[in-house]
Amino acid sequence: MMRRYFNLALCSMALAPYAQARAKPGPMFWLATRRTSRVFLVSIADAKAGDETWFTPAIRQAFHESSELWLEVAPAEASAGRDPATKAKEDIEYQKLSHEPPGRTFFDELEPRARQRALTYMTELAIKKETLEPLRPWAAYYAINAAYWSRIKLPYEPVNVDQVLWKLATDAGKSLGYEMPTGVAFAQFMSDMPEKAQSQYIEFLLNFCDDRKKGLGGDVFDWEVGSPRASMRSLDRMRKELPDLYQSMQVQRNIWWAHKIDELLNTNATCYIAMGHMHVLGPDGIPAQLQRLRIVGPSELHMNPTYPR
**Tens-digit pLDDT string for the chain (309 aa):** 222 222 222 222 222 233 333 345 799 999 999 999 999 999 999 999 999 999 999 999 999 999 999 999 999 888 877 788 988 999 999 999 999 999 999 999 999 999 999 999 999 999 999 999 999 999 999 999 999 999 998 999 999 999 999 999 999 999 999 999 999 999 999 999 999 999 999 999 999 999 999 998 888 899 999 988 889 999 999 999 999 999 999 999 999 999 999 999 999 999 999 999 999 999 999 999 999 999 999 899 998 775 333
pLDDT at 306: 56
pLDDT at 206: 98
Query: DSSP character for 284?
Result: T
Answer whether 43's CB lies under 8 Å from 27's CB: yes
pLDDT at 80: 77
pLDDT at 24: 57
Q: How far apart are CA 46 and CA 27, in angstroms?
A: 12
Can you give the pTM of this predicted structure? 0.89
**How many angstroms separate the Cα of 31 from the Cα of each of 182, 188, 293?**
27, 31, 17
Question: 84 burial class (0-12, 13-18, 19+ CB within 10 angstroms)?
Answer: exposed
Q: How far apart are CA 127 and CA 131, in angstroms?
A: 7
Q: How far apart are CA 33 and CA 7, in angstroms?
A: 10
268: Cα within 13 Å, side-chain hemisphere: 0
**How many angstroms separate the Cα of 235 from the Cα of each of 232, 239, 241, 307?**
5, 6, 10, 26
pLDDT at 78: 86
